[in-house]
Chains A and B, each alone.
Chain A
Amino acid sequence: MAFSFVGILAVVLEFFRGWFWLLIPLIVLDLVLLGLFFKRTSGRRRKFSLPFKASIGFGVFTFVMALITLPGITRSSWEMLAGAVDYLSLIGASVGFGVLFAILAFPVMLHMLGIGPKHKPESQATRQSPAPETETGAEAEPSTASQQPQG
């Protein structure tokens, strides 16, 4: 019996319906945290690279944990896995958990690691030399050179 895309989506929604009490507040909390982050960083530098990397790290940790524990959580064991389907499904599910937790952790990481120093006043900035290029310009810290008075 073939399942349509909408059919699979309906089953997924039913699967999560029992967890809405947890998921919806979590998502709302994340959105609020995101909003607060942008409010808090108004007039400040925003650093995205480090929170992103930290979230990825958290996701990878979750992925590994899921890989190890999912068979047991499903009342099964590693011994019961047989063939590519089982192993690929386990990896797929673990990746899914990893991505989900990384996304959920990102707003928290932004608050912990993403708030940079205040922008310099424009008059002072015009006297400074341009900051050297970095991976993400937004989080470039003022270099020693940029703090030297010009001329």
Chain B
Amino acid sequence: MNHKDKQIQSAVQRALGDKGLSRRDFLRLSGGGALLAGAATSGLLYPGTARAVSTNARIVIVGAGAAGLSCATRLNRELEGAQITLIDRREDHYYQPGLTLVATGVWNTAKTLDSNRRYVPSGVNWIHDMVAEYDPDNNRVITDDGRTVEYDYLMVTTGLQVNYDQVEGMSEELIGQRGVGCVYDKPELAERTWRAVDEFVDNGGVGLFTRPRGDIKCAGAPLKVTMLTESRMKERGTRDKAEMHYLPPGASLFSQPDADDFLSKNFPERGIQIHWDHPLTAIDPDAKTATFDTPLGDETLDYDFIHVVPPMSAPDSLRESELAAQEAPFKGWLEVDRHTLQHNRYANVFGAGDINGVPIGKTAASVKSQVPVAVENMIQAIQGRENSASYDGYTSCPLITELGKAILVEFDYDLKMKPSFPVISPYEEHWVPWVMKDRLLLAAYRAMLRGRI
């Protein structure tokens, strides 16, 4: 060490001494900082391999949607030696929470399009097929192509299906034509819906906004489409040209009572008439009429624009299988314990996402909360331990009330508000939740797919 080095060393030690730090403290802090920086830049950017549990279990995940990919990433990371198989034919991945923004002209479709391949972890066997039959008694599933895939543990993450044919006269092809819109399912349909909404916003007339009976994914979407359409009209100065009607199937607009109170007052204030107990049963696109099954009998209304939300269900293959609940209230959905997300009759079967027969929560936010629980409990089952992880029913809806502001509604099975950020009131409209919806939630969603949150 030359004289200059010695001078530097003594200067550093003096500086550290002034701060009350020893050389060892400094090295420890530097090491911590380096580790933190390393974790931030490498571990967070790329899924890690901190495998904790060694097993040779065969795990099958059915469905490569948000829940399926997230489960695949987490299981692949946390299990050493497991044979993980993902079954889904779809190559495209849709960011479905963004479809309301596409259907109201805020986003273009490209923003919601992604590829499953980007998120399927290496080491996971991806079978490009769909499950046609579940055989839980023999621990196997059979695909469309007739392939039999056996498993020791099954994770069901199929999502749900939209049943257009349950509204008489309605079909997927109609969307975007003759004043028919439907925000759900695919970016292409949401884009076509925007064409119909855009025309209605310009020309006005009678707008009907419907909601079906039963569970649907993102139950806030029909409300958001209604409010954003109205907001677009105000923006273009055409609000006076339109008559807007919201027709829920029951006597409430939203499952969370505070949000329901807000909406029940807000809709009439902005001139949106509410027609309680009006589930849609049929449309006649040529005559532009819609028929509703009301307590007083069928009622037919004319429209210039109609937002049709068809009934939804578990995919047929699951609904007709032994895995489906046989009785109400969740008949046809995957029969899981609402807290452990383990199947009630088949202990080696778990579920996450829209497919689960649980009271609320067919949202991406629910997926974010359900996946860690389902994965952890499956791993504990593999280890022969009791399930300890519990899902409290958390779900969230950034309820967009106008272009540029929203209410961040988060709640659980008890329908109590559970704000993630207590400074953001779940009872008032703010700009911040709008920015979250418009700019940040897609990033959160992708972090979820990578198993990071």
Is the CB of A11 closer than 8 A to any CB of chain B?
A: yes
Contact of A82 among B365, B423, B429 (CB under 8 A): B429
User: Within B425-443, which residues are at the interface with A (CB < 8 Å)?
Assistant: 425, 428-432, 434-435, 438-440, 443
Knowing A10-B447, A14-B447, A82-B429 are in contact, say whether A74-B438 is a contact too (CB < 8 A).
Answer: yes
Is the CB of B251 closer than 8 A to any CB of chain A?
A: no
**Docked-complex contact A11 and B440, CB < 8 angstroms:** yes
Give the secondary structure class of B's interface.
Answer: mixed
**Docked-complex contact A1 and B368, CB < 8 angstroms:** yes
**Docked-complex contact A76 and B394, CB < 8 angstroms:** no
Is the CB of B418 closer than 8 A to any CB of chain A?
A: yes
Chain B residues near A15 (CB-CB < 8 A): 439-440, 443
Is the CB of A142 closer than 8 A to any CB of chain B?
A: no
Give the secondary structure class of A's interface.
Answer: helix
Knowing A71-B404, A74-B439 are in contact, say whether A86-B430 is a contact too (CB < 8 A).
Answer: yes
**Docked-complex contact B443 and A14, CB < 8 angstroms:** yes
**Docked-complex contact B365 and A1, CB < 8 angstroms:** yes
Interface-centre pick from A1, A4, A71 (highest chain B CB count, 10 A)? A1
User: Within A1-55, which residues are at the interface with B (CB < 8 Å)?
Assistant: 1-4, 6-7, 9-15, 17
Interface 1/0s, chain B 38-58, versus A by CB < 8 A? Answer: 011000110000000000000
Is the CB of B127 closer than 8 A to any CB of chain A?
A: no
A114→B428 CA distance, assembly (Å): 50
Knowing A14-B447, A86-B432 are in contact, say whether A2-B403 is a contact too (CB < 8 A).
Answer: no
A6→B423 CA distance, assembly (Å): 20
A90→B404 CA distance, assembly (Å): 13
Interface 1/0s, chain B 369-407, versus A by CB < 8 A? Answer: 100000000000000000000000010100000111100
Knowing A1-B396, A1-B420, A74-B439 are in contact, say whether A83-B430 is a contact too (CB < 8 A).
Answer: yes
Interface 1/0s, chain A 69-109, versus B by CB < 8 A? Answer: 00100111101111101100110000000000000000000
**Docked-complex contact A11 and B447, CB < 8 angstroms:** yes
A131→B453 CA distance, assembly (Å): 58
A9→B394 CA distance, assembly (Å): 22
**Docked-complex contact A11 and B431, CB < 8 angstroms:** no
A83→B430 CA distance, assembly (Å): 8
B404 CB to nearest A CB, Å: 3
Contact of B430 among A71, A75, A82 (CB under 8 A): A82
Chain A residues near B446 (CB-CB < 8 A): 14, 17
Interface-centre pick from B403, B405, B424 (highest chain A CB count, 10 A)? B405
Chain B residues near A7 (CB-CB < 8 A): 447, 452-453
Is the CB of B78 closer than 8 A to any CB of chain A?
A: no
Knowing A1-B369, A11-B444, A82-B429 are in contact, say whether A6-B44 is a contact too (CB < 8 A).
Answer: yes
Knowing A1-B420, A3-B420, A11-B453 are in contact, say whether A83-B425 is a contact too (CB < 8 A).
Answer: yes
A84→B358 CA distance, assembly (Å): 37
Q: Taking CB as reference atom, which chain B residue is nearest A79? A: B404
Is the CB of B106 closer than 8 A to any CB of chain A?
A: yes
Chain B residues near A83 (CB-CB < 8 A): 425, 428, 430
Chain A residues near B438 (CB-CB < 8 A): 74-75
Is the CB of B191 closer than 8 A to any CB of chain A?
A: no
Contact of B431 among A3, A12, A17, A81 (CB under 8 A): A81
A9→B425 CA distance, assembly (Å): 23
Pull 15 A–B residue pairs with CB atoms less than 8 Å apart, ordered by A: A3-B420, A7-B453, A9-B44, A11-B440, A11-B453, A15-B443, A74-B439, A75-B438, A76-B403, A76-B404, A80-B434, A82-B405, A83-B430, A85-B424, A89-B431
- A9-B40, A9-B44, A83-B430 are known contacts; what are 10 more A-B pairs with Cβ within 8 Å? A1-B365, A6-B452, A10-B447, A10-B452, A12-B443, A75-B438, A76-B403, A80-B402, A80-B405, A80-B429
User: Ordered nearest first, which 6 A-B pairs have the shortest CB separation?
Assistant: A76-B404, A10-B452, A15-B443, A14-B443, A80-B404, A7-B453
